[in-house]
């Protein structure tokens, strides 16, 4: 198999704050807020990436929601004279737990598949749910709630 969901991002040498590598941060599985950003990597948006609601959806239609949400965030930042955005650790932790809890309500965790990140025949790779199984409608609602609360869970500077 191939390294679905995170593989393309891991192939890029992405270095965040304090020299942290995205590959190191995600060594035991992705950690994100809304499937759009990871702590330590300001201004890096992972559209249709791990933990994102658009991954279980018609991608062309659902990436539109991601792009519109990010452009609205950038417009908001511009109006507040902010130039950097990054999720809080608390928001990242809460979203990652929510992703895991939502996955546990399905049968996905019972299969050795790319959904669980274990389709590579790599015994060192940790089983972790890679997507968001809560549905696109619930994902959109959560994103809209975050935006309505001045991008709650993000630090703007």
pLDDT tens-digit series, residues 123-132: 777 888 999 9
Which residue would you say has higher pLDDT here, 73 or 121? 73
pLDDT band at residue 70 under the 50/70/90 scheme: very high
- The arithmetic mean of pLDDT across residues 76-80, rounded, is 99
Please report which helix (H) or strand (E) contains residue 86, including its range.
strand 85-87
The model carries a pTM of: 0.93
User: Which of 11-20, 47-56, 68-77, 85-94 bottoms out in mean pLDDT, i.e. has the lowest?
Assistant: 47-56
What does the domain layout of the chain look like in residue ranges?
Answer: 7-156
Q: Please check the confidence at residue 104 and state whether its pLDDT lies above 90.
A: yes
Q: How far from 4 is each of 1, 11, 82, CA to CA, in Å?
A: 8, 12, 34
Residue pair 92/39 in contact (Cβ under 8 Å)? The answer is: yes
Which residue would you say has higher pLDDT here, 126 or 64? 64
With pLDDT > 70 as the criterion, what percentage of the chain qualifies? Answer: 96
Q: Please check the confidence at residue 1 and state whether its pLDDT lies above 70.
A: no
Cβ contacts of 136 within 8 Å, gap of 6 or more:
53, 54, 56, 57, 62, 65
Report, at the CATH architecture level, how domain 7-156 is classified. Answer: 3-Layer(bba) Sandwich (3.50)
Q: Please check the confidence at residue 121 and state whether its pLDDT lies above 70.
A: no
- The arithmetic mean of pLDDT across residues 17-28, rounded, is 94
């Amino acid at each position: 198999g191939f390294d679905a969901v995170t593989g393309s991002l891991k192939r890029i040498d992405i270095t965040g704050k304090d020299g942290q590598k995205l590959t190191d941060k995600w060594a035991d599985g992705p950690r994100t807020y809304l499937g759009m950003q990871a702590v330590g990597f300001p201004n890096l948006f992972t559209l249709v990436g791990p933990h994102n609601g658009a991954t279980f959806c018609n991608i062309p239609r659902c990436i539109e929601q991601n792009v519109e949400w990010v452009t609205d965030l950038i417009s908001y930042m511009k109006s507040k004279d902010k130039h950097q955005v990054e999720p809080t650790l608390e928001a990242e932790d809460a979203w990652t737990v929510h992703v895991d809890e939502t996955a546990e309500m399905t049968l996905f965790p019972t299969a050795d598949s790319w959904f669980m990140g274990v389709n590579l025949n790599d015994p060192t790779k940790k089983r972790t749910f890679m997507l968001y199984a809560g549905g696109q409608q619930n994902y959109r609602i959560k994103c809209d709630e975050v935006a309505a609360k001045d991008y709650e869970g993000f630090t703007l500077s």
